[in-house]
Structure 1
Amino acid sequence: MRPYLGQRQIYDFNQQWKFIAQDEPGFKDVDVNDGEWETIHLPAPNRLLPHKDFPVETYQFCSWYRKHFTLPESAAGQRIVLMCDGAMAVAEVFVNGQHLGMHAGGYTSFSLDITDAVRVGKDNVIAIRLDSTRRTDVPPEGGIVDYMLFGGMYRNVYIAVHHPVYLEDVFLTTQAVTDEGARLRAQVEVANLTANPWTGTVSIRLNHRNGAAIDKAAFDLGSALGSDIPFDKSAALEKGAPIETSTPIETSAPFESTYEVDLTAGGVSTAEWEFFVPGANLWDVDDPQLYQVTARLVSDSGEVFDDAAFRFGVRTATPHADGLLLNGRVVKLRGLNRHQSFPYVGGAAPKRLQRRDAYVLKHELGLNYVRTSHYPQDQSFLDACDELGVLVFTELPGWQHIGDEAWQNQALDDLTSLITRDRNHPSIFMWGVRINESRDDHDFYIATNELAKSLDPMRPTGGVRNFRTSEFLEDVFTLNDFSMDLMPTVHTPQLITEYMGHMYPTAPFDPEPRLVEHALNHARIVNSLYGRDDLMGASGWCAFDYNTHSQFGPGDMVCYHGVMDMFRQPKFAAWFYASQQPAEERIVLNAASYFTFASAPHDVMLRELIDITAMEQELASAKYRMPVYVFSNCDEIEVHLNGHSLGRLLPDRDTFPNLPHPPFVFSVHGYQVCGGVDITGYKDGQQVAQTRLQTPQGGTRLKLRADDVELVADGSDMTQVIVELVDQNGTRSPYGNRAVTFICDGPGELVGENPVAMEGGRMGIFVRAGMVPGTIRVIASAFGVESAETVIRTTLDTSPRL
């Protein structure tokens, strides 16, 4: 995740931590006997959880983490920094018994200079006290929150070793794009912790990483590529002078621009300059071109003191009345909201799962935009959004509540951390500077807007509210609209940030008519969106079901608001979103039905009928026909019911005139809803897809599917395995609830409930790699049906670690 070059060493610091779910002040001491503590590898929750039905107190406690490590002799005389990407919610850090600092806020990263507390070449111990209780002084807490925060050191931890003259921060922005190229602005902070002045240059080098968009088939969920440099932020005032800008070059050749820097002893300088990149390749949602940027600090004598790398996309993004003006073309934003939580582990999902979510949003759901509700999310997720071309609206932590002055100051710190961490991501097009759905607070929101503009003057601000009369202080009026038929705009530009959600919660095991209506509700709203030229776009609530507090949901601690369940398995609504992507990206052909007798409108039989003739007339009427919706991006489909053709059908543009790809619909008599339906999709007159809708015949066997067949043996990497109950035709039993038992054999372990009851004929569990390469065999069994197994390989971890 953290790139390093010749002069900057980044060590993976995730392995072999000692953990105890107790709180004793003495646990900070060097000589504590932690041999009996649990050994864990980060990221990790402070407690594994059921996927539902658990009280929040389960994870709301204080705990301690300890790790012994030895720095190599090469670290002598270098600056040594501990970097933590996220620990929920307040962390106190001790190194060799010394208290070095505290960080409040579980959604933001922090770094601590531990140079003076460590001993190079000798055993060191770091101890972290983590308070995961409900801290009402730390956003988003203070009021009711409609999501769980969970607990633990749930993101990655690193150790950085570099020269005491170093790059502290690099910030690139695209100032303008023309047919000839792009004008960029660099802001580089350089620090000198030595007792001597230093002079030299800082350079920015751009290497074009890819000549085309990353192919979805080649997208590596476990890739370590990319991420921002792990810099510490400090004040910076001095300026140097630009030296040169490269002569015009081929777009595939590297580009370099340099700037002179003069540093006083113990001083910090900010180098700011602009340069032109001829023929720049632009980042776009359809073609996410990325540059590998190398920042290098070189003394006057030619010695490289520090270098670091990150990825950058050249692009402009400006709010427009009917979309986002991306590189001069209007892009209608079609997206969903994403919570970062996963079953069993809460927020403690490793890089692979984070990256997979971005893949699901882009390629399985066909979206071009995501809102990271309601807090900063993992860097790995944002990296994948950069790679795949998913636009991101991200925001500071919060939910409805605004606290006192100290709370607001903490929120401003959170906003600072969010922007300075993530502002090099091309996918991020707007900063959220309001607490989600909070009341108006003029002074506070003037401060958040001004802060955002001072840290990043190029990106617009937005602030999510749920009332139309809210004071408009941002660049974009961002509004949650639960009207089920998008209301007239209040301001321009305007972006709808939530719709649906709690208006029609739908569990994956709900009856088919509700699942169908859930999908159609989403289709109706998106159809309304595409008929509007006064909205930038909209993001529905939400992508995935998530755990929440008892005040929300049906009482099992789950909000069933997602178009997918919490295991990222599709409901019918997910198929609707998938069908709206261009057929050139992926052909989609899915029938939103289980094709069972119970799905037909038999309620018409419950009314009082005068005689058999009246009943026969009722059964023969159109009322007793069941519509079957097919979500597809094909031009036309042909339907065969039990071998008999119902003819070719066109999309229902009468009902959904504005959608890129309206659903198809055909109807079947209530007493014919049984057997098989074969559906063939056509594009430009050519057959491009087929699917079969088969009435379930009763489960006979289990089916296992791993999201990944290869993991890295680092103790942290893991993938999801889905088990389904299917019949002899391979059709899932949509209401199967068998208890499934898993067995894991080999260098890995299961993460989750075991045994566990299926929901809607399926269930998920995670498999985590151990520290030794090998082969993991996973077996699933259930009473009365054939068992299933799958194999996952683990490969050697070659990343440098302490």
Structure 2
Amino acid sequence: MNRRDFLKNSTTLAAATSIATTAVAQAAPRTTKGGRTILPINRGWRYNPKNPKGGTALAFDDAHFDKVVIPHTNVMLPWHSFDEATYTFVSLYRRELRIPASAAGKRVFVDFEGVMTASTVYLNGKKLGEYRGGFTPFSFELTDHINHAGRNVLAVEVDSTERADIPPFGNEIDYLTFGGIYREVNLRVVADTFLENIHARPIHVLTDAPKVEVECFLDRGPKSKPGALSLYAELRKGATVIAAATHTIEAPTVTPHHPQDADQAAGALPPVTPYPNSYTLTLEKLGKIDLWDLDHPNLYTVHVQLSENGAPIDEETRTIGFREAMFTDGGFSLNGKIIKLRGLDRHQTFPWVGQAMPARVQRQDAIILRRDLRTNIVRTSHYPQSRHFLDACDELGLLVLEEIPGWQHIGDKAWQDVAVDNVRRMVRRDWNHPSIVLWGVRINESRDNHDFYVRTNATAHALDTSRQTGGIRYFQESEFLEDVFTMNDFGFPLKPPIHGKYLNTEFVGHTFPTKTFDDLERLREHTIRHIRVHNQLWSDPQYAGGIGWCAFDYNTHGNFGSGDRICYHGVMDMWRTPKPAAGFYKSMCDPSEEVVIEPAFYWSRGDESTLFGDALISSNCDHLKIYIDYGKGFQLVGEVDPDRAKWDHLPYPPFNINLGKAVSDHWGDLRIDGYLKGKLALSKKYSGKGIDQAFVVLPDDTTLVADGADSTRVVLRCTDEFGAPRQFATEAIQFTLEGPAQIVGDNPFSLVAGTGAIWIRAGEAPGKVTLHAKHPHLGTQSVVFTLTPSVPELA
């Protein structure tokens, strides 16, 4: 097949790829020229938290079950102060399937992206097996159990208890896992022989002759007919074909592939040897390639077609980026340039629904980390996270350290087998993401276990030779089996690097929990603790950089956190609104990205034990002027340069100025003017009146898709007349919602430190939705959302 024919034949696939790359709503059904059909099955589920006896049978009457849409949490929870036992139970999900007539004679799989924690899957009452694991994808083949002439019902028993045989469990962990089918589900209809996976590896990217090695993994079913197979691959930038290659497999000797999840159910995990049914095509003579980097995350797509006897039987595509990323003895190098890493750890959990948030919300976290906090790396602590989040990291230029599920505890041999399988599934799901630069193959903060960690490293290296491995530990006296020594260090000063490739992966966090409503002295100290760590990290090139603990506050077990099931360890709260320490991370970006002035205080006279004194300000300006309006207009009360004497290694040190004398007798509005090279670059004002002046409602988006799952955050904020938050506002906001949507959150919702958020989740009917949010003193604010029609599910 020539390029023109392939482009013509794969139009549907290309459109679907574009949707998948930028999706914020549930994917549409798609069929390729080769016959592969992907059918989302996220709507139309029936749910019962009691798992009634006989509930998996085909004839069982589920009319009294709740109607739910995936992603789904097994129980809605308060945002704090609940018992984690509330969600640890076995529930039942059922869904009737409409198997298309075109599936006859083909193979049919059900693909789950994430179910917490163990899933026993049935079709028409027939048990297909159990998958153990909540953070990695799994599939079961339905082919031999489908009734093509009658009803088909898929049933899933979801065990959301903390089972000791499944990582990360076996001991108490410092986070909550929640429950339910919390990631998307698809039916996949394919030919008897199909493309099981694609690994597209850019190589020699910094030379004049970059290439892409496209390794294609085939799954050949038991009914395959003899015939010559051929593979055709293209590299595209948008719709432009850059290069193509063909590979012919004469007289194939492909070994039948047994579904790996059935292997796990049988207790025999697949080996870590290279996959036996793979073939590699090389795409070369690419011409000038646009590199993927932090500022220009250029993406390409690789399209592959599998043919039998000249006729297409399958097509697939992957998104890639050309970059050379490696940890060296002199730091982290991206495309030959040393970059100091500054990032934060992320838990993928949210108030009220745990982990059950759809694509738009998952992507928003990446936007917050990259654009609001200006970080350049995130660690997926402590498990593989949503593909939507990783897609957004690719598109935004946010580097990723991805790690396997775990927290300190290592179980027995069977437990370790599941953990090794987690490595395999994580790598094989995510090996095409250019944003991922390091595989975390050690259980977070666990003790040494030579044999186990030899296996996890060998698995990652056997599957992906293009990336290094790391292993998160909290003690330096550790056997070093990985490529990069990744270290949680909560002390200060930090321990000096003991290996050439050294990355700090947690600091501050639990040693200094801080709430948005804490007093000024604690908020300032929290900010300083992050500043001083990064200052030390910049002092030595052998520190590759640091990933702070952590981005967002998160729910945890009763033996951790602040006694209300929350760890207040984030530089943002659990609604993703900033604490002052967040301003420091933001201020570390180059002013060409954004000019930043972020005070590490709320402007109030008496919030310190000795009244207001030192004003700590995070900024990437080179000079600040401070003004106070005592009632007759703003008067200059001080000028200050970055505190390079104290923070001597940071590229943009914070500013510190004592304003005690300026406010000892009079108080007033504050103005901070920031200068770059002698020119005014930014000016910000803060009220000294101490009055709640305005109530604002700030949605992340106002257009949603009516698929029953698409959601967006709505930030609530009480401010002064200049838009700065009022820290002590705690009023209850009453909501009224008109139209086909629902509120995810409390109603009424009491502000926390003058702010907070709810989420709006679309229903399944298009139309207009109006949210009215009433503040008891400052009136009502309204937001109108447009729900656009969704693509119907066909299965």
TM-score (norm 1): 0.89
Pairwise CA distance, 1:139: 0.4
Pairwise CA distance, 1:625: 6.2
Deviation by residue 1:546-592 (Cα, 9 ceiling, x = unmatched): 00011111100000000000010000000110010111112212222
The structure-2 alpha-carbon separation of the partners of 1:389 and 1:731, relative to structure 1 and needing over 3 Å to count, comes to: closer
Residue aligning to 1:278: 287
**Distance in 2 between residues matched to 1:261 and 1:672, nearest whole Å:** 86
Residue aligning to 1:197: 226
Deviation by residue 1:212-236 (Cα, 9 ceiling, x = unmatched): xxxxxxxxxxxxxxxxxxxxxxxxx
Residue of structure 2 aligned with 1:40, choices 68, 72, 85: 68
**Distance in 1 between residues matched to 2:306 and 2:210, nearest whole Å:** 24
Counterpart amino acid of residue 227 in structure 2 = W
Counterpart amino acid of residue 290 in structure 1 = L
Are 2:701 and 2:712, in contact at CA under 8 Å, matched by a contact in 1?
Answer: yes
Pairwise CA distance, 1:180: 1.1
**Distance in 1 between residues matched to 2:101 and 2:491, nearest whole Å:** 64
Deviation by residue 1:162-200 (Cα, 9 ceiling, x = unmatched): 222211111122332233131332221123323411213
Deviation by residue 1:349-387 (Cα, 9 ceiling, x = unmatched): 110111011111111111111110111111000111111
Residue aligning to 2:23: none
Residue aligning to 2:359: 351
The answer as to 2:78 corresponding to 1:50 is: yes
Residue aligning to 2:32: 5
Residue aligning to 1:525: 533
Counterpart amino acid of residue 691 in structure 1 = K
Residue aligning to 2:3: none
**Distance in 1 between residues matched to 2:665 and 2:523, nearest whole Å:** 21
Pairwise CA distance, 1:512: 1.8
Pairwise CA distance, 1:700: 5.2
SS of alignment partner, residue 95 of structure 2: strand
Residue of structure 2 aligned with 1:760, choices 753, 764, 773: 753
Are 1:696 and 1:731, in contact at CA under 8 Å, matched by a contact in 2?
Answer: no
**Distance in 1 between residues matched to 2:209 and 2:621, nearest whole Å:** 38
Residue aligning to 2:264: none
Are 2:704 and 2:788, in contact at CA under 8 Å, matched by a contact in 1?
Answer: yes
Q: What pairs up with 1:509-658 in 2 under 5 angstroms?
A: 509-602=517-610, 626-642=613-629, 643-658=634-649
Residue aligning to 1:154: 182
Pairwise CA distance, 1:660: 1.7
Residue of structure 2 aligned with 1:425, choices 429, 433, 436: 433
**Distance in 2 between residues matched to 1:116 and 1:288, nearest whole Å:** 44
Q: What pairs up with 1:182-221 in 2 under 5 angstroms?
A: 182-193=210-221, 194-209=223-238
SS of alignment partner, residue 597 of structure 1: coil
Are 1:697 and 1:728, in contact at CA under 8 Å, matched by a contact in 2?
Answer: no
**Distance in 2 between residues matched to 1:448 and 1:440, nearest whole Å:** 13
SS of alignment partner, residue 789 of structure 1: strand
Residue of structure 2 aligned with 1:675, choices 668, 682, 703: 668
Residue of structure 1 aligned with 2:246, choices 258, 261, 267: 258
**Distance in 2 between residues matched to 1:121 and 1:628, nearest whole Å:** 74
Pairwise CA distance, 1:750: 0.6
Pairwise CA distance, 1:702: 2.8
Are 1:198 and 1:264, in contact at CA under 8 Å, matched by a contact in 2?
Answer: no
Residue aligning to 1:746: 739
Residue of structure 2 aligned with 1:489, choices 474, 482, 497: 497
SS of alignment partner, residue 418 of structure 2: helix
The structure-2 alpha-carbon separation of the partners of 1:267 and 1:131, relative to structure 1 and needing over 3 Å to count, comes to: closer
Residue aligning to 2:305: 296
The answer as to 2:460 corresponding to 1:452 is: yes
**Distance in 2 between residues matched to 1:54 and 1:672, nearest whole Å:** 47
The answer as to 2:47 corresponding to 1:19 is: yes
Counterpart amino acid of residue 104 in structure 2 = A
Residue of structure 2 aligned with 1:177, choices 201, 205, 210: 205
Residue of structure 1 aligned with 2:713, choices 699, 714, 720: 720
**Distance in 1 between residues matched to 2:646 and 2:144, nearest whole Å:** 69
The answer as to 2:350 corresponding to 1:362 is: no
Pairwise CA distance, 1:264: 4.4
Are 2:604 and 2:612, in contact at CA under 8 Å, matched by a contact in 1?
Answer: no
Deviates more, 1:106-115 or 1:780-789: 780-789
**Distance in 2 between residues matched to 1:583 and 1:336, nearest whole Å:** 21
The structure-2 alpha-carbon separation of the partners of 1:136 and 1:756, relative to structure 1 and needing over 3 Å to count, comes to: same
Counterpart amino acid of residue 528 in structure 1 = Q
**Distance in 2 between residues matched to 1:727 and 1:121, nearest whole Å:** 66
**Distance in 1 between residues matched to 2:398 and 2:714, nearest whole Å:** 26
**Distance in 2 between residues matched to 1:195 and 1:363, nearest whole Å:** 50
Counterpart amino acid of residue 663 in structure 1 = P
Counterpart amino acid of residue 177 in structure 1 = V
**Distance in 1 between residues matched to 2:495 and 2:440, nearest whole Å:** 22
Residue of structure 1 aligned with 2:165, choices 137, 144, 162: 137
**Distance in 1 between residues matched to 2:121 and 2:396, nearest whole Å:** 36
Pairwise CA distance, 1:121: 6.6
The answer as to 2:403 corresponding to 1:395 is: yes
Are 1:696 and 1:733, in contact at CA under 8 Å, matched by a contact in 2?
Answer: no
Pairwise CA distance, 1:693: 1.6
Deviation by residue 1:277-331 (Cα, 9 ceiling, x = unmatched): 3322221122111101111112343x21110112011222221123222222212
Are 2:198 and 2:318, in contact at CA under 8 Å, matched by a contact in 1?
Answer: no
Residue aligning to 2:266: none
Deviates more, 1:515-524 or 1:660-669: 660-669
**Distance in 2 between residues matched to 1:255 and 1:120, nearest whole Å:** 42
Residue of structure 1 aligned with 2:780, choices 768, 784, 787: 787
* Structure 1 segments unaligned to the other structure (5+ residues): 211-251, 603-623
The answer as to 2:470 corresponding to 1:443 is: no
Deviates more, 1:624-633 or 1:26-35: 624-633
Pairwise CA distance, 1:333: 1.3
**Distance in 2 between residues matched to 1:787 and 1:295, nearest whole Å:** 54
Residue aligning to 1:609: none
Are 2:716 and 2:757, in contact at CA under 8 Å, matched by a contact in 1?
Answer: yes
The structure-2 alpha-carbon separation of the partners of 1:732 and 1:367, relative to structure 1 and needing over 3 Å to count, comes to: closer
Are 1:181 and 1:280, in contact at CA under 8 Å, matched by a contact in 2?
Answer: no
TM-score (norm 2): 0.90
**Distance in 2 between residues matched to 1:345 and 1:478, nearest whole Å:** 32
Regions of 4+ moved over 6 Å: none
**Distance in 2 between residues matched to 1:801 and 1:633, nearest whole Å:** 53
**Distance in 1 between residues matched to 2:705 and 2:66, nearest whole Å:** 22
Are 1:720 and 1:764, in contact at CA under 8 Å, matched by a contact in 2?
Answer: yes
Deviation by residue 1:719-771 (Cα, 9 ceiling, x = unmatched): 11122223555443201221222111111011112222221012211110011
Counterpart amino acid of residue 637 in structure 1 = L
Residue aligning to 2:770: 777
Pairwise CA distance, 1:704: 1.1
The answer as to 2:474 corresponding to 1:466 is: yes
Are 1:590 and 1:691, in contact at CA under 8 Å, matched by a contact in 2?
Answer: no
**Distance in 2 between residues matched to 1:799 and 1:185, nearest whole Å:** 37
SS of alignment partner, residue 257 of structure 1: strand
**Distance in 1 between residues matched to 2:244 and 2:194, nearest whole Å:** 19
Are 2:245 and 2:281, in contact at CA under 8 Å, matched by a contact in 1?
Answer: no
Residue of structure 1 aligned with 2:319, choices 311, 320, 326: 311
Counterpart amino acid of residue 232 in structure 2 = S
**Distance in 2 between residues matched to 1:563 and 1:742, nearest whole Å:** 28
SS of alignment partner, residue 698 of structure 2: strand
Counterpart amino acid of residue 279 in structure 1 = K
Deviates more, 1:32-41 or 1:718-727: 718-727
Pairwise CA distance, 1:464: 0.5
**Distance in 1 between residues matched to 2:761 and 2:529, nearest whole Å:** 38
SS of alignment partner, residue 779 of structure 2: coil
**Distance in 1 between residues matched to 2:725 and 2:637, nearest whole Å:** 25
The structure-2 alpha-carbon separation of the partners of 1:175 and 1:698, relative to structure 1 and needing over 3 Å to count, comes to: same
**Distance in 1 between residues matched to 2:666 and 2:461, nearest whole Å:** 59
**Distance in 2 between residues matched to 1:723 and 1:717, nearest whole Å:** 20
